[in-house]
Amino acid sequence: MRTLKVMNASTEPNTVALSVRNLVVDYAEIHAVADISFDAEAGSVTAVIGPNGAGKTTAMEVCSGVRRATSGTVSVLGLDPQNNRLEMNSRIGVMLQDGGVYPSGRVGEVLEHYCNLFGNRERADDLLEAVDLGSKRKATWRKLSGGEKQRLSLALALAARPEVAFLDEPTSGVDIVGRDLIRGIVRNLADSGCAVILATHELDEAQRVADHVVMFQRGRLIANSSLKDLYGDNQAVTLRTSSKIDLAALAMHMNCRVDQNQTELRLYANSDANFISRLSNWFAENKFVLDDLRSGTPRLEDIYRELIDVSEQSKS
């Protein structure tokens, strides 16, 4: 796979490339996006995550200029997506869920056409090789598999050598090998200075490539944090027990938050040797059965579920 670089990126790493403030998008009586704010930096991958229908795609469409907001502001490289659309389009790449390629269009010709629109015709060969479609140059869109269509859509989104790339569900319908390839391209883009905004409902994908995470639930943000900080706040010990545990007593003794999730208990704390020893002794002293214990960083999926629970409880 060839490494793709953002040759014409002018945004310095760690500077804000996308700024969203108090964004609202309404469909009749439905709040598709309800007063959200977040930033995405150059040289990083910002994962916009949440279940289908949470508002991710709508927010991406507004940020990329495809849809108008009801209220709020969006700035992409200092440009308004509606008022500065032409200038912005020459500096961004957009991969939405609908590929938008004519069924009889041939892979090589379509990609060359896109690259030529941005004065980058010579980039077509590099992009074909990067997404592993060199052997499909003469194939038509309709003959491609689902994963191949996704990879071509990604290549088309990168035709402009974008400084900001909006990628909506780029690994949807892609096999394991294709996912690895796409992850590599995403990381290469960020390492080259591009701000990558990646929307996905597949939390494992976000966990593998993201630097920053924006979590959606029912059109609202329930988290907006670097992945490092999100994990840092959620170091945990997870255990299983067949004994009936007084959660309040355990939390008081261990001086930490304790949550119960079906058959598991999770204690949020720095899981050093002293903490594990105190926990084991408490179980032994109270004659409780400790069936399983593991420590470390929980999965992003677990963190997301807990944040959803907190969000729902705050509304009740």
Is the pLDDT at 7 greater than 50? The verdict is: no
Return the pLDDT at 225: 93
Backbone angles phi, psi at 37, to 5 degrees: -140, 135
Taking residues 234-253, report their average pLDDT: 90
The closest alpha carbon to 91, from 152, 153, 157, belongs to 157
Quick check: 261 pLDDT over 50?
Answer: yes
Q: Which of 4, 92, 51, 126 is nearest to 311 (CA)?
A: 51
Give the long-range contacts of residues 115-120, CB within 8 A, separation 24 or more.
Answer: 115/159, 117/159, 118/90, 118/159, 118/160, 118/161, 120/159, 120/160, 120/161
Q: Report residue 84 as tokens.
A: 């500065």
Tell me the domain boundaries of the chain: 16-225, 235-296
By C-alpha distance, which of 177, 187, 185 is closest to 157?
185
Q: What is the pLDDT of residues 125-162, one digit of tens each?
A: 999 999 999 999 999 999 999 999 999 999 999 999 99
Q: Tell me which architecture the domain covering 16-225 has in CATH.
A: 3-Layer(aba) Sandwich (3.40)
- Percent of the chain exceeding pLDDT 70 equals 93
What's the predicted TM-score (pTM) here? 0.81
Question: Hey, which CATH number is domain 235-296, 3.30.70, 2.60.120, 1.10.10, 3.90.550?
Answer: 3.30.70
Please name the amino acid found at residue 260.
Answer: Q
Arithmetic mean of pLDDT over the chain:
90
Q: pLDDT per residue over 151-202, tens digit each?
A: 999 999 999 999 999 999 999 989 999 999 999 999 999 999 999 999 998 8
pLDDT class for 14, splitting at 50, 70, 90?
Answer: confident
- Residue 245 pLDDT > 60, yes or no? yes
pLDDT digits (tens, 9 = 90+) for 33-70: 999 999 999 999 999 999 888 999 999 999 999 999 99
